[in-house]
Amino acid sequence: MIEAIDKAVIFQVAGGEYAISIQDVISIEKEENITSVAQLPSYVIGITKVRDELIPVIDLENILYNKTSTSSEHNRLIVIRQEELSFAVLVHAAKEIIDVKAEMIKQAGLSVYQKTSYFTGVLNVEDDRLIMMIDPKKLLDSLAGINDIKDYMNKQPV
């Protein structure tokens, strides 16, 4: 069953449009002050400080398309709070926040595929605009090595 949401942040990664429920989003920040950390998985760009909290920055293009994002003035960090770990996803543009009505959400059919279980539905916006919905908790849980990152982040002084 697809969880109902009221509003979603719409953003781009490579050529696709994606959405995350506004309930999971703390803030949207410019891509800046990211410190590289050696020996972390390739999808982790580094860490940054947001509201006095150190958080890992995850390259969503690396996860979705196996490509490393290039720096751009349009890039944004969508900061997401989850119970076990706050983190930021690097995206190409955080374009808008939209109201989501139940009839706009369609089953993705991809959630059964283990590698894309974080795609929870498709937003059918207007007639020709399909936006993949991402569940941040399922995204985080699907990442290899995430428990090591959680341990690392929990050991960092504030």
**37-91: per-residue pLDDT in tens?**
888 888 999 999 988 888 999 999 999 998 888 888 899 999 999 888 899 999 9
Residue 52: C-alpha distances to residues 60, 113, 158 (Å): 23, 37, 7
Residue 137, H or E segment: helix 136-142
Q: For residues 128 and 140, which has the higher predicted lDDT (pLDDT)?
A: 140
Q: What is the pTM of this model?
A: 0.87
Q: Higher confidence at residue 28 or residue 69?
A: 28
Q: 95 or 43, which is more confident?
A: 43
Closest CA to 89 of 144, 136, 37, 33: 136
Rounded Cα–Cα distance for residues 91 and 38 (Å): 22
Instruction: Provide the token pair at 76.
Output: 């944004």
Closest CA to 92 of 76, 104, 79, 107: 76
Q: Is the pLDDT of residue 1 over 50?
A: no
**H or E element that contains 106:** strand 105-106
Rg (CA), the chain: 15
- In one-letter notation, the amino acid at residue 150 is K
By the 8 A CB rule, do 19 and 6 touch?
no
